[in-house]
Structure 1
């Protein structure tokens, strides 16, 4: 398996690291190169480093002309309690009473000049993805839903599909990397400090999107293609129900029917099985001779071993 895509993904995480977004370009790019080198060395393919470096430098030259957001979080794990489609006001539970949790990792959460939040997916490809496939990207939409479940006061406006094509020779922009870079969004605002989660939306940014109706915006810049897809409230909200319906099929206990075999003579459940075959109710026998296995009691963690999310505004768990 080619280790180059994974190395490029690791390098992009460093490229969009929020803490270094406003650093001098040469210093930040050296860290990107080191991330790719480390990933390729770990995969024992250091000979791919020149290719990775050329691709990353070309990506940087093009990205600086089209990046219109600032990074907030990278490689961030989020999770959400899956709703029960049969009772949307309740969370879905398994047969033993455990909650059904949807978890995913988000490549990048970004904020644009209008203080709107986007879920960004890095796609290392050999040819551009079909637009319809990007619109129907269930994992991307589910990531929007999961983020809003983790951070209840936030609203994700859509997804950005960041495609890096590794086929062909990388060619930088003919006019230099700084052309068109005026749309770049800084991580730190003059008011002080970096962007927080959630961030107060500035008055000047609230009017920045007035009159904008395009759902899909796509631009190609060399080996980079950037697709912005705005997601409606209904589209993101429906994902939870879809996940719940699939989870019910995955977690439902299978129907077990009496199937007689030689080992039935020594089976401890031969009595209830025989009662069911004879058409009588096996529940009294089960209640008299059997007991349910108690749920595992989770042990209390050691001091400093467990924390709880600050974005949810929840109190610490009770053990």
Structure 2
């Protein structure tokens, strides 16, 4: 690519679905509903876990981490997307776009690692119930959570260090500053960047997802050995719902980052990215905990306490 085509970019235009004004309003309503549900459900879960001593267990410690993460994950991009729905050609500064892109990437990677840690916690609880408190001591829980956050920081830093500096355009065909959409603008040779991104994606997506599938396979074997049919049904229902939301998150991420990349970012790609960026953060508290008997009990106890004051 010749030097004449290289653009000094100070701001980007985010296309989204700006060519369809009515669709923009529909997307605004969908984004707003999903974002408000995400904020409400995750904030409620964090408050319940903090205030209820009965929820001070390893499982809810990790769920609290996940809810905290999901609040900031959605907040890093959805409010900007909501504002952009009112503009035909919304713009964002270069610095703000890069910041949003890597903050979102960091939080998404942290979620990938944290979901794997939560699967291990369930494996220890179901398959080694007598040794569970030893296996998942508070020291181990804190170490696993810290490793998830720290590992996410390192895996985010790598693509940042090899980020393309020469861009041949300033139009990002996406609702937000998505890494894959940004890389489409690169003028310079991106072979190294693509190889590193692929390796990163295997470590961040394929490895944790495979670990989760194996872990839940082991949990399934343990559940089949239960004598109680009611217990088996409840366990399979819980594990099944967990696997559904995990598959949505990892599946959409894998379809985006572990396949050959074209030169343009399609509307299909934008649609797929909504599943890991918008849908999953809303589903996580609903699937993992708000249906849980302990969480419901904590909610009604807290509500009763407030009403009695």
Shared fold (TM-score greater than 0.5)?
Answer: no
Higher relative contact order (CA closer than 8 Å, sequence separation 6+): 2
**TM-score normalised to the size of structure 2?**
0.23
As a proportion of its length, which structure holds more strand?
1
As a proportion of its length, which structure holds more helix?
2
**TM-score normalised to the size of structure 1?**
0.23
